[in-house]
Structures are given as structure tokens and as C-alpha cells.
Structure 1
């Protein structure tokens, strides 16, 4: 990297990719004949690691579990990842970028992947609503402050 590039605040997406993907439908084909009144649970996590100076891998994990009564219809787990070059941010700005801004970029890719997997398994489409990562991040920060 040139000295000029490191002195400026720079954010670059270097790569977006699937890190891990899983889809299970343990009760097919019998599950197709049940009355379709699903219970849908969505879990969301973000992880990051520093690869080298100014380069970070961010992973957005979305797990969708759909049940009818006690029967698992399907479990879909997507780890959508990206490599980002982020330079010259203050600590609080970097934290916000890693925990909110980057996952927000990754979310549409993960949502599309889940939608495709579900439809390829011949289940009704699931449209995951947009997620306000800023709100989640700031609620987490405020919660940590209150517990100090």
C-alpha cells in the first residue's frame, strides 16, 4: 500500500463470498403434505477477524429454522463473508464499521442465498425483512455501558 492511501480514510470491498452454507430438510417428503402453518425463527450473528493491517474479514451468519408444530421443515444456515480494506478510522468508527456497516453490505447477498436455497428445495419463498444493523449495534453499545 502506498503511504498516501493509508493516510486517508479509505473503505474498499475486496471480496464478497460464501464462507459456509448448509441446508437440511430432514422430514422430506412427508413434510410436503402437512398443513403449511410454519413457525419461523431467524438467528443473526456477525464475526470479524483482522487478516493483516487494515484488512478485515467480516462474516454475517443467518440461520433460518422453519417448523410445523414440532417437525423441522428445514434449517438453512448461511455464512456470508467479505474482505474489506479499512484504514485510518478512529476506534469507535472502526467498531461501527465492522459491526454494522460491513454486515449491512453483506446482508442482501445472504438474503438472496437463503431465498434461492429455500426455493430450490421447493418450499414457499421466505423474504427476510431488512435489518437495521445500526440499531442493533447501538443497542449493544448502550447495553454494555449500562452494565459497567
Structure 2
């Protein structure tokens, strides 16, 4: 004779927990990959003898697209250009992606994970790809400074909310 039914009832395990349904919120990185990488070294080998310090221009962009109800693709685009007085030393364009799995999250949490937390997780790997690409182009590895994706996300969120509040605040 089995008392399993009584034990489950006594523990209060009813509804979805009894049938194995997973209703807990969950978010994570399923996979990550280089989607596109372009390395240009237009003035090699002359650029290796240039002595003036180059100006490094770094541009970032974050994009996302929904693939299914629970999976999205996040794309970090990083564009670098190193220019010295004599010309362009190198140009690197990287599209580094991650597949994000999100289940049982509200829309605000999905948005925050997609545009703040997931880029924070993926960035160190994209940074390594950039460092290796610069090194493989014949220059010292370029280590990008860490980026506060959460801070940027909160600033952009506040700016968007501020656009709707055009009325003056306080007394003058």
C-alpha cells in the first residue's frame, strides 16, 4: 500500500507542481557565437613602422530579434578603426551573438535581461575575439575597457521615460 498520495497532499504540492510543469522564471545564455568578423589591414606592412600614436574609434550597437516564444538572438556589434597620421592601420567589425532562453518572465524582465544582463555576460567573449583579431592583424592586442551595460540600460530607460514628462518639476 502506498502513502505517496497522502504525503503529496500533506505537503501542499498541488496543481502544476504535481504534473511536472516548470513555472519558475528562468533566463540564460543557450549558446554564443561569432556571426560575422571582418579584419582589414589596408596599409600593411607600412603601418607596422608608423611611430605616431593612433586614434582608436570604437562603436557599439546591441540588437535583438525574437526566434520563438522562449528564444531570442542578441547581437553585439563592435566596430573598431585605428587611424594614425599616415593612414588607417586596421579596421575590425565584429558581430558577436548569443541565443537567449527566457521562460515565465514578464515583459520588463525580458527587456532588462536582453539589453542589460545578456550583453554583460557576452561582452568578455567578444572582447577576447577583438583582442585576438587585432593581434592577428600584426598589432599589440587591444583590450577594450569593460562596459557598464546595466548603467547604460538604466540611463536609456530613464531618458525614454523622461521624454513623456515634458512638464516642469518643482517651483521656480
With structure 1 as the length reference, what TM-score do the two structures score? 0.92
* Equivalent in the alignment of 1:114: 130
Q: Does residue 96 in structure 1 map to residue 123 in structure 2?
A: no
1:59 to 72, 75, 86: 75
Q: How does 1:13-28 map to 2 (within 5 A)?
A: 13-28=29-44
Tell whether the 8 Å contact from 2:27 to 2:113 is kept in structure 1 after alignment: no
Secondary structure (helix, strand or coil) at the match of 1:4 reads: coil
Secondary structure (helix, strand or coil) at the match of 2:127 reads: helix
**More displaced, 65-74 or 117-126?**
65-74
Between Structure 1 and Structure 2, whose CA radius of gyration is higher?
2
User: Where in structure 1 are there 5+ consecutive unaligned residues?
Assistant: none
What whole-Å deviation, never above 9, does each CA across 1:27-58 have from its counterpart, x for those lacking one?
11111111140101111111111100111111
Secondary structure (helix, strand or coil) at the match of 2:21 reads: helix
Q: How does 1:26-105 map to 2 (within 5 A)?
A: 26-69=42-85, 71-105=87-121
Instruction: Give the whole-Å Cα distance in 1 for the aligned partners of 2:20 and 2:77.
Output: 35
User: Where in structure 2 are there 5+ consecutive unaligned residues?
Assistant: 1-18, 165-172
**More displaced, 69-78 or 127-136?**
69-78
1:4 to 10, 18, 21: 21
Count, aligned residues: 146
Secondary structure (helix, strand or coil) at the match of 2:131 reads: helix
More relative contact order, 1 or 2 (CA 8 Å, 6+ apart): 1
With structure 2 as the length reference, what TM-score do the two structures score? 0.80
Instruction: Give the whole-Å Cα distance in 2 for the aligned partners of 1:99 and 1:69.
Output: 37
Query: 1:96: Cα distance to partner?
Result: 0.7
Secondary structure (helix, strand or coil) at the match of 2:67 reads: strand
